[in-house]
Copies of this chain bind each other. A is one copy, B any other.
Amino acid sequence: MGQESRRMQAVQAPVIPVVADLIRRHPGTISLGQGVVSYGPPPEALQEIQRFLAEPENHKYQPVTGLPELVDAFANKLRVENGVSLEGSRFVVTAGGNMAFMNAIMAVADVGDEVILQTPYYFNHEMAVTMAGAHPVLVDTDAQFQLQPDAMAAAITPRTRAVVTISPNNPTGAVYPESALRAVNALCRERGLWHIHDEAYEYFTYTSGHFSPGSIEGAGEHTFSLYSMSKAYGFASWRVGGMVIPERLLTAVRKIQDTILICAPVISQYAAIGALRAGRAWCAERVRELGATRELVLNELQQLRGFCEPPSAEGAFYVHLRLDTPQRPMELVERLVREHGVAVIPGTAFGLEHGCHLRVSYGALRQDVAVAGMGRLVRGLRQIFGVR
């Protein structure tokens, strides 16, 4: 009997379920693993459920590209907050940020084409490119996990179709300065490439503002801007995100989403309308609390000096540790769960084949639990590294 396709054999196994399995086998483990926040959606979101239920037609399929009311609410947010206009562009509601990325890749990359990702990359991005039969081309970020536009330029070949960036970054927490994003967007324009920029963590900045390359004059021609409700609005399980796309790709994106999904879940789209009404002000309070957790996390990490320089991690809710050791990261992750009751994600999941990296997420836990988890992590690493 047949086996799975070679394409799927070539796609890495998602590591989150592997670590989740480890956690299940070690009850009491504090997970600094999955990239979610600890809170649920604003009351305004849940109030919309009644409005959804009041209209029987809402149980039928709705437009592939999203409810017009939600598209309008997003368009307004984009104009006011991001400086992104939809002139020459369109906003498409998706079932989450991952689907927005898959739509983008299918729309622009053919089999055998190349897509430039920055390492460490977000694993589902690499998986989507591979699944689509295209090739991820990996460009390293620098020691502070910042973009290296010259290295990107050097990686471009005649098969390159797109450059992917994420800021604030998953998995590193790095925030790219406006100048770097402008450089990448200009590089793409000059070389006839698409710039696919993921802004899922746009509200999670602690030391700077957020910059959307889609706001650059003329960028709408070649820029995808990807958004998610999952993080800022505590909306992960509802599956609503969206994407700004160049208008001439609308037909392609409609075909893709119609075939994969038909339309994003409509009850969730109603809730999203309510969430956007609560808006950034509602999110900002939660982000402030996360900012305080981040301070505590970064303080705690000072104790790793000597074998791990704590990174600045200005955004999202991730800290990426680069450990000075020949140990394999997955072994380290297993020891940390088994011996110290704390779970993190190995850097291998993010395309880091050399060195020993760990992704620490502090978003999913109440502050006291997150700090307790960091305590375990720091004590565990110090013990494993023989530092007293």
Contact = CB atoms under 8 A, between A and B. Distances in A.
Contacts of A264: 239
Contacts of A157: none
Nearest to A34: B61
Interface in A304-341: none
A208 interface: no
Contacts of A56: 40
Interface of A: 1-9, 11-14, 16-17, 34, 36, 39-41, 46, 49, 53, 56, 58-64, 95-96, 98-99, 102, 106-111, 113, 124, 127-128, 131-133, 161, 192-194, 221-222, 234-239, 246, 248-249, 251-252, 254-256, 258-268, 364
Given A98-B260, A261-B98, A59 B234 contact: yes
Contact of A261 (B99, B238, B255, B364): B99
A96 B99 CA distance: 14
B61 A237 contact: yes
B5 A109 contact: yes
B258 A127 contact: yes
Say how many copies of this protein the assembly contains: 2
Contact of A95 (B7, B39, B192, B265): B265
Contacts of A261: 95-96, 98-99, 239, 261
Among all A-B residue pairs, the 10 with the closest Cβ atoms: A237-B266, A40-B59, A8-B252, A4-B252, A265-B265, A127-B259, A239-B265, A111-B133, A14-B258, A5-B110
A36 B58 CA distance: 12
B7 A64 contact: no
